[in-house]
């Protein structure tokens, strides 16, 4: 892990978030404060419905808190305009989702290139980065295959390559192994840990799976929208 800087890369201060109105209102996050250092790999663990995805959405600039402050990569997200949030996501953040979110009509390489082009990178450089990252995740010889021709683990590796290719400072992963079998999950987690060490990109991973706890530098428990005791790392 890279040495953390004096200032955290991500800071949430007294953040609350709810959905719905009146009797149907649900408090998802409740006065939550959290800091993530640059180069750190943090796993946020908790059961389904505890607010993990909402937390990632706030850090990723996809949603806003009802109260409190969210700062990430030097950007104040709480009151940022839509163009500012779009620029922040394009420039600073990579996303990995449980169900890969690959475009079915594009090859593995084209999917990675598409993620880079969003960040304003030219076609030739996007191709070079795509080829480099697919090689790095062990899929250099499958660059021309479409998602339907790849296994679940291979598709997730393409998604990781896509997220890293634009060279973000922060990578957010929502249940990155939730759609994989145990053996494939272990391989994907090992790859994520390796890439964190090699690239110094900051990783924030949310999951309900206690086995993922051993992957992180730090595990943060989340329960009913508040920080809680983290689970023990799996042996």
Tokens encoding 140: 């250099």
Q: 227 near 34, Cβ under 8 Å?
A: yes
> Looking at per-residue confidence, does 98 or 154 come out higher?
154
Render pLDDT for 87-112 as a digit per residue (tens, 0 to 9).
999 889 999 988 888 999 999 999 99
Contact 204, 35 (CB under 8 A): no
Q: Report the chain's mean pLDDT, rounded to a whole number.
A: 89
The range of the structural domain enclosing residue 185 comes to: 10-104+153-228
User: Is residue 235 a part of any domain in this protein?
Assistant: no
CATH classification at residue 86: 3.40.50.300
Q: Could you tell me if 52 and 226 are in contact, meaning their C-beta atoms sit under 8 angstroms apart?
A: no
Residue 72 lies in a domain: yes
**DSSP annotation string for 90-138:** HHHEEEE-TT----TTS-HHHHHHHHHHTTT--HHHHHHHHHHHHHHTT
pTM, two decimal places: 0.87
Q: How far apart, in whole angstroms, are the C-alpha atoms of residue 54 and residue 126?
A: 31
Give the residue, 2 or 46, on which the prediction is more confident: 46
């Amino acid at each position: 892990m890279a040495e953390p800087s004096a200032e955290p890369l991500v800071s949430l201060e007294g953040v609350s978030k709810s959905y719905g109105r009146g009797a149907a209102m649900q408090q998802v996050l409740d006065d939550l404060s959290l800091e993530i250092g640059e180069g750190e790999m943090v796993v946020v663990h908790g059961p389904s419905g505890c607010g993990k995805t909402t937390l990632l959405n706030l850090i990723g600039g996809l949603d806003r808190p009802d109260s409190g402050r969210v700062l990430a990569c030097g950007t104040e997200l709480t009151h940022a305009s839509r163009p500012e949030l779009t620029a922040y996501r394009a420039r600073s953040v990579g996303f990995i989702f449980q169900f890969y979110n690959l475009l079915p009509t594009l090859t593995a390489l084209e999917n990675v290139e598409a993620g880079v082009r969003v960040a304003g990178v030219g076609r030739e450089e996007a191709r070079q980065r795509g080829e480099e990252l697919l090689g790095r995740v062990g899929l250099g010889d499958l660059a021309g295959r479409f998602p339907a021709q790849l296994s679940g683990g291979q598709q997730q590796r393409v998604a990781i390559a896509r997220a890293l290719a634009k060279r973000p400072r922060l990578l957010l992963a929502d249940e990155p192994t939730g759609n994989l079998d145990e053996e494939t999950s272990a391989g994907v987690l090992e790859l994520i840990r390796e890439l964190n060490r090699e690239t110094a990109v900051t990783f924030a991973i949310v999951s309900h799976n206690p086995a993922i706890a051993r992957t992180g530098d730090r595990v943060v428990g989340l329960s009913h929208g508040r920080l809680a005791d983290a689970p023990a790392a799996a042996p």
